[in-house]
């Protein structure tokens, strides 16, 4: 098959051991994102299969309609809100997905951001490399309140790390998260306002869907302390557009550590958060480690092989009638 892999920003895919699974296929890899839909169509027009790296490409109804040769979208991961599944089904495009979830990598990275941002690690290290010997005062984690919005598998791992650091765990989310918090011995917040007011470090661990999109409002952020830190390694769209920048400018919360953005990749420093000294920005690194990449891409490539060989598929759009080679 003719396989296209768009938006491999790090040029990592050919370095993965699982890449050998695609031997014998014609493969084209793009590192830089397409400028618009027309350029994207030009890149994908001859593809039988496109490997969708998470949500880096938005597969709209318009785009799908302009790719008549497309038979399969091999999703890296389990679900992507950026794919119009109904349009894929109507055009006979099989969307295959992974089955595994790597919760350790994003949990570890969340804790890394928390410690780095709370203790001023990055700013101090950069200043020292430039020849200075600064000594800013930072905030201790022990004894502070770690607010976790969404106690799923990632949130639970972050909570465990917080306990190990001597933090008090405060939980908010749906009924399931609050019930799980009580079962595990964590404190459910008395209310949404109570959660945002009391959290010294507040981290988001929600799956992005129509119910959670823009769930964090300007009013929520205005409740936070001037000394508090908000961490987002989940999805930028969980926060109302522009709300975080405005809140940081208003001083509540006082700090942020962010790994996700509405438009990615962010290049040439073109984002308002990058201009704020009280914000630690990372380029969507939470999932970017070897074990996770081998797992996620391996499952995507395995589905391509099965698609070609008539094997059973893990379909995200099970109603589709696949147009196999």
Give the catalytic positions in this structure: 235, 264, 284
- The structure tokens listed for 256 are 């942020």
Mind giving me the DSSP string for 268-292?
Answer: TT-SGGGG-TTEEE-SS-TT-SHHH
Give ∠ CA 14-20-25 in degrees, rounded to 5. 90
CA 124 to centroid of chain Cα atoms: 27
Q: Which residues of 90-115 are buried (b: 16+ CB within 10 A; e: fewer)?
A: ebebbbbbbeeebbebbbbbbbbbbb
3-class secondary-structure state, position 294: helix
β-sheet bridge partners, residue 27: 3
């Amino acid at each position: 098959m003719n396989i296209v892999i768009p938006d491999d920003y790090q040029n990592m895919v050919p370095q993965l051991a699982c890449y050998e699974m695609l031997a014998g296929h014609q493969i084209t890899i793009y590192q830089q994102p397409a400028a618009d839909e027309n350029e994207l169509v030009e890149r994908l027009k001859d593809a039988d299969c496109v490997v969708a790296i998470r949500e880096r490409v938005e597969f709209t109804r318009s785009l799908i309609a302009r790719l008549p040769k497309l038979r399969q979208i091999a999703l890296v991961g389990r679900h992507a809100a950026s794919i119009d599944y109904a349009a894929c089904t109507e055009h006979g495009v099989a969307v295959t997905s992974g089955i595994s979830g790597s919760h350790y990598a994003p949990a570890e990275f969340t804790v890394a951001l928390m410690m780095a941002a709370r203790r001023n690690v990055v700013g101090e290290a950069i200043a020292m490399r430039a020849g200075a010997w600064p000594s800013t005062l930072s905030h201790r984690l022990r004894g502070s309140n770690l607010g976790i919005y969404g106690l799923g598998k990632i949130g639970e791992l972050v909570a465990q790390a917080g306990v190990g650091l001597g933090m008090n765990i405060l939980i908010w989310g749906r009924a399931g998260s609050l019930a799980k918090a009580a079962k595990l011995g964590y404190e459910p917040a008395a209310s949404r306002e109570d959660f945002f007011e009391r959290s010294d470090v507040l981290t988001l661990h929600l799956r992005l869907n129509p119910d959670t999109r823009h769930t964090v409002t300007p009013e929520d952020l205005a409740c936070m302390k001037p000394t508090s830190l908000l961490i987002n390694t989940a999805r930028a769209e969980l926060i109302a557009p522009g709300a975080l920048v405005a809140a940081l400018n208003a001083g509540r919360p006082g700090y942020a550590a962010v790994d996700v953005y509405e438009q990615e990749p962010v290049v040439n420093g073109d984002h308002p958060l990058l201009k704020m000294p009280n914000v630690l920005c990372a380029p969507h690194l939470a999932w970017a480690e070897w074990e996770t990449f081998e797992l996620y891409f391996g499952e995507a490539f395995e589905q391509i092989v099965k698609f070609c060989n008539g094997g059973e598929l893990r379909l995200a759009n099970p109603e589709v009638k696949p147009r196999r080679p």
